[in-house]
A and B are shown apart, each in its own frame.
Chain A
């Protein structure tokens, strides 16, 4: 089946630094990618939707200047957490939709990136 990878899987950083998380669709082209955030024992919260070559659409309450999303190609989207603070510590999951497959369940999820800001 289709694979979505995320890198890194784990990152620990100091408060005030910026962290970039990559999301790649490995064997398909993804016109649309989604970024979710998951707090411990809670559900996935949609942060933003990005379409290749255009600006991301952010959900209400998500700071676009804080969470920079770039979807520069059909196989890569990046999420940059700028000036990270401890409250940004979370599990970030990306998801990609296969442009070549019209089946509605074809939204594949990456393995997630755990961010810990000290």
Chain B
């Protein structure tokens, strides 16, 4: 079965600095990889996905993520963080031949002014 690890519970960055939220995955075969963001008491909002093609994928709100097959990683990045980026971020994986999506434990990003 597929699984996701987000090694950091919390990431703190200063506004304007680059941010990275880490994610590693385990899956049989090729993965579909996703990042979602959750604001307090809200559902999940889709940020970006990797299906195939370019390893660097760009998503909503200036976020991007790099798929690294050899390291089985899919870290989320943004060149310049905003205070409004503060939220809970989830990495998720699906196997190509599997219907269900598995989520990491989440990383709380706090961007300080």
Residues on A close to B: CB < 8 A? 4, 6, 32, 34, 41-44, 46, 49, 91, 93, 95, 104-105, 107-112, 114
Assess whether B43 is in contact with A93, with CB atoms less than 8 Å apart.
Answer: yes
- 18 examples of A-B residue contacts, CB within 8 angstroms: A4-B43, A34-B101, A43-B105, A46-B102, A49-B99, A91-B41, A93-B43, A95-B44, A95-B101, A104-B51, A105-B32, A105-B34, A108-B46, A109-B43, A109-B45, A112-B41, A112-B42, A114-B41
Interface string of B25-51 (1 = CB under 8 A from A): 000000010101000011111100101
List B contacts of A44 (CB < 8 A).
44, 90, 103
Interface of A, secondary structure class, is strand
Q: How far is the CB of A11 from chain B (nearest CB, A)?
A: 13
Assess whether A43 is in contact with B99, with CB atoms less than 8 Å apart.
Answer: no
Assess whether B49 is in contact with A104, with CB atoms less than 8 Å apart.
Answer: yes
List A contacts of B51 (CB < 8 A).
104
Q: How far is the CB of A9 from chain B (nearest CB, A)?
A: 8
Interface size class of B (residues with CB under 8 A): 20 to 34
Beyond A93-B44, A111-B43, A112-B42, whether A46 also contacts B49 by CB under 8 A is: no
- Which residue of A6, A43, A110 has the most chain B CB atoms within 10 A of its CB atom? A43
Residue of B nearest to A32 (CB): B99
CA distance in complex: A46, B101 (Å): 8
Beyond A42-B105, A43-B106, A104-B94, whether A111 also contacts B99 by CB under 8 A is: no
